[in-house]
Amino acid sequence: MGEVSDEKLWELYFGARALLYASEYEDFGIMPVEAQACGTPVIALRQGGVQESIVGGKTGVFFDEPSVDSLMRAIQSFDKLRTSIKGEDCIKNAARFNKERFKKEIKDFVASHARTS
């Protein structure tokens, strides 16, 4: 698809049945959080940060290996769970990843690892 504007990206998220996220190397990955913020569930390869940002069976489903068979099983699982995966749950889950939480966790981490003299 190539690069799209932010406006177009949000339009795509809102209109999607799900986001397919198959990154093998992304530490965190903002796209799954953005999709969930739009109420769109995620079908993702179970690697990296998506394991923290997606609640399996509630805001999306995982596939375990980068293969067509594994992806097809995840899509079938998603289709079976589609009525129980709610857009509202996706939005609530995405809200956990906000600036205030990030700042607090960084401050807490630094405070707990700071040397005291």
Residue 98: its pLDDT value, please?
84
Q: Per-residue pLDDT tens, the chain, 117 aa: give them.
A: 689 999 999 999 999 999 999 998 888 889 999 999 999 999 999 999 999 999 999 999 999 999 999 999 999 999 999 899 999 999 999 999 988 888 888 888 898 888 654
Pairwise CA distance, residues 74 & 28, whole Å: 20
User: Cα–Cα distance between 11 and 68 in angstroms, integer?
Assistant: 28
Extents of the domains making up the chain:
6-113
Residue carrying structure tokens 């609530």:
92
Q: What are phi and psi of 112, to 5 degrees?
A: -75, -15
Read off the tokens for 56. Answer: 């399996």
The confidence score (pLDDT) of residue 87 equals 96
> Can you give the pLDDT at residue 69?
98
Topology of domain 6-113 in CATH is Rossmann fold (3.40.50)
Give me the pLDDT at residue 52, please.
92
Distance in angstroms (rounded) separating the CA atoms of residues 84 and 1: 30
Provide the sign of the torsion angle of the four alpha carbons 97, 40, 19, 60, taken in this order.
positive
